[in-house]
Amino acid sequence: MNADELDGEIRRALTEIGDAAGIAPRFDQLRIDELGKSSRQLRPRRHRRLTLMTATVVVIGAGLWALAQVAQPDDALVSTAPITPAPATAADIGTEPPSVVADPSLPTQSTVPATWTDSTLQPATSMSPHESPIAPLAIGDSIMLGAAFALEELGLVVEAEETQTFEDVLRLTGALKQSGRLGDVVVIGLGMTGIPDAAAVEQIMANLDEVPNVFFLTFAGDRPWLTAYNELVRTLAGRHQNVKVIDWATKAGDCTGDCFAADGLHLVAEGREYYARIVMEAIAARSAD
């Protein structure tokens, strides 16, 4: 098959798959009215409007797709714990919507509702017994979310979400600890939503007390809580032997090329790879100790 023939086959395949998906549901079938602007923090409900007959066809069709994916290498990097889908952020849209930034009016995390709802905290009960600890695991907010692909390329499992807070991380680490899925390395990169409650931070550290390598990234960017946040992170290393600080606040300025979105915080192309590299270098350095 020459290049032109291959291109033709690929276009044909995309046409077939797209046509097979049928017609997009109407907007009101997305149940957006139920959520509404006043219910922004609610989790979207999964939407299904398949009839029994079409569902049967779907099951059959899905099978081949699934079989083809079972051995897919990239999947091995993805957490098997239930994961709350991550939204796009400014950093995730590349250069097109730089106007989208995290809300700087969020002074503390107490104002931000938890994004891990009770219904999503089911890893302990939904996982099969053979599922092994996740290592290394990276947990973060929209900054890290921008580098998610790059981190995964380097072998990390990434649990990053826009406006993720320490309270979210507390719930997540608690669930993972309970299910025995915390591994040897956990990386935490937060700071977009303000100063965390000190008690929540200590509770997180209690959840991570058996994790030998916990990395906290400092925060880099023009936010009022920058100094206080980074001071808090740095003091963690003094209080907990298993904590190592990755000083993103210092290292971010060394990134060369197209590193940051217009807000100066979120990562774009070279910045994403640089961020991932900094994280991996810290993990590798710790391993070498």
Which residues, 136 to 165, sit near other proteins by CB under 8 A? 145-146, 148-149, 162-163
Q: Minimum distance from CB of 33 to other proteins (Å)?
A: 10
Choose between 31 and 239: whose C-beta lies nearer to other proteins: 31
Tokens of 109: 């995390």
Choose between 1 and 52: whose C-beta lies nearer to other proteins: 1
Q: Minimum distance from CB of 179 to other proteins (Å)?
A: 15
Q: How many CB atoms lie within 10 A of CB 51?
A: 9
Cα separation, 280 vs 268, in Å, equals 18
In single-letter form, the type of residue at position 99 comes to: S
Residue 130 interacts with other proteins (CB under 8 A)? Answer: no
Residues between 5 and 64 with contacts to other proteins, criterion CB under 8 A = 6-7, 9-14, 16-18, 20-25, 27, 29-32, 35, 39-42, 44-50, 57-64
Query: What's the CA angle centered on 41, arms 40 and 44, to 5 degrees?
Result: 80
Q: What is the dihedral of CA 13, 16, 20, 23, to 10 degrees?
A: 110
Residues between 94 and 113 with contacts to other proteins, criterion CB under 8 A = 94-97, 99-103
Q: Which stretch binds other proteins (CB under 8 A): 69-77, 181-189, 200-208, 220-228?
A: 69-77
- The residue from 51, 53, 88, 240 that contacts other proteins (CB under 8 A) is 88
- The residue from 4, 51, 52, 67 that contacts other proteins (CB under 8 A) is 67
Query: What's the CA angle centered on 282, arms 242 and 195, to 5 degrees?
Result: 65
Q: Minimum distance from CB of 118 to other proteins (Å)?
A: 18
Cis-peptide into 87, omega within 30 deg: no
Residues between 247 and 276 with contacts to other proteins, criterion CB under 8 A = 267-270, 272-273
In single-letter form, the type of residue at position 74 comes to: D
**Mode of pairing for the β-strands spanning 137-140 and 185-189:** parallel
